[in-house]
Structure 1
């Protein structure tokens, strides 16, 4: 009983923390949108091109994190795939903004490729594990179709007394 109380308290604290974090991220999202709206009225945007693109990409990252917190409240968990998608898109956005350093581009490209490879392996392993789980059900179903009388034997087996039992 004490473990259930502790688990419930932990879930409440986690929920409150996620709500506060979501509100903070939503605030930063609104702040970035407001800054972009202010930049819209400036005449000399070519000088601030990198700042504008950085701000746009930052806004999208905040938007994705707000969506993650929404997913937590709707599904009561956040999937690992979504974290990987956000990591890949964040690295791609970073590559779009900071592309002056050749070695940095190479490292980021390798990191993006590695993250995509990890995502492929993760999705493959999920399918493989699901297939293994359903394989046992399929073999039981096939066995039941091939041996229709086994169900009645299984039901009667619980009624039969073993020799060691006393009445």
Structure 2
């Protein structure tokens, strides 16, 4: 009975992974399409419009294009590494907030709130990276202590036998 439910779980997990992979592929294709569309519009705007009059709309489009590019890279990361790192999500969030701050800067209170949000996200990123490094160091320390204990234990056994 137990083996059958385990096999069912494996099929369910495999089906979920296939569904997730297809969904990520579709999302990646859509994001890539938006990326190409924005690049095309950007090229047209640069060649056909007065850059001084439309500077903010061109800047907004450039920043939006970079955001789509980051999402395409995020989708690629999923297919290459079978997961998406939290750090990359945080980088994209910070980039999106910076883009928003650069483009929409008419509201003073909005600028303050966005700036505080960016600062909080950067602090969270710093704490996250520090905690990962700390945990990795702790893991290595425990492994070293286990090796030292095993070596000392073997030496003690060897001296006890003689």
| TM-score where L is the length of structure 1 | 0.85
- 5+ residue gaps, structure 1: 153-167
Q: 1:10 aligns with which of 16, 19, 35?
A: 16
SS of residue paired to 1:67: helix
CA distance in 2, matches of 1:77, 1:61: 20
Q: Output the aligned Cα RMSD.
A: 1.5
| Residues 29 and 62, structure 1, Cα contact 8 Å, conserved in 2 | yes
CA distance in 2, matches of 1:32, 1:7: 37
Q: From the superposition, tell whether residues 136 and 150 of structure 1 become closer, same or farther in structure 2 (CA, over 3 Å).
A: farther
Paired residue for 1:131? Answer: 137
Q: From the superposition, tell whether residues 107 and 130 of structure 1 become closer, same or farther in structure 2 (CA, over 3 Å).
A: same
Q: 1:73 aligns with which of 72, 76, 79?
A: 79
Q: Kindly provide the CA deviation profile for residues 102-139 of structure 1, in whole angstroms up to 9, marking residues without a partner as x.
A: 11111111001000010011111111221222222111
TM-superposed deviation, 1:43: 4.1
- 5+ residue gaps, structure 2: 1-6
| Residues 71 and 78, structure 1, Cα contact 8 Å, conserved in 2 | yes
| Residues 88 and 112, structure 1, Cα contact 8 Å, conserved in 2 | yes
CA distance in 2, matches of 1:105, 1:151: 69
| Residues 144 and 150, structure 1, Cα contact 8 Å, conserved in 2 | no
SS of residue paired to 2:106: coil
Q: 2:91 aligns with which of 82, 85, 96?
A: 85
Q: Kindly provide the CA deviation profile for residues 17-67 of structure 1, in whole angstroms up to 9, marking residues without a partner as x.
A: 000000000000010001011112224222222211111110000000000
TM-superposed deviation, 1:89: 1.3
Paired residue for 1:59? Answer: 65
**Deviant stretches of 4+, over 4 Å:** none
SS of residue paired to 1:125: helix
Q: Which moved more, 1:112-121 or 1:35-44?
A: 35-44
TM-superposed deviation, 1:86: 0.8
CA distance in 1, matches of 2:50, 2:147: 71
Of Structure 1 and Structure 2, the greater helix share is in: 2
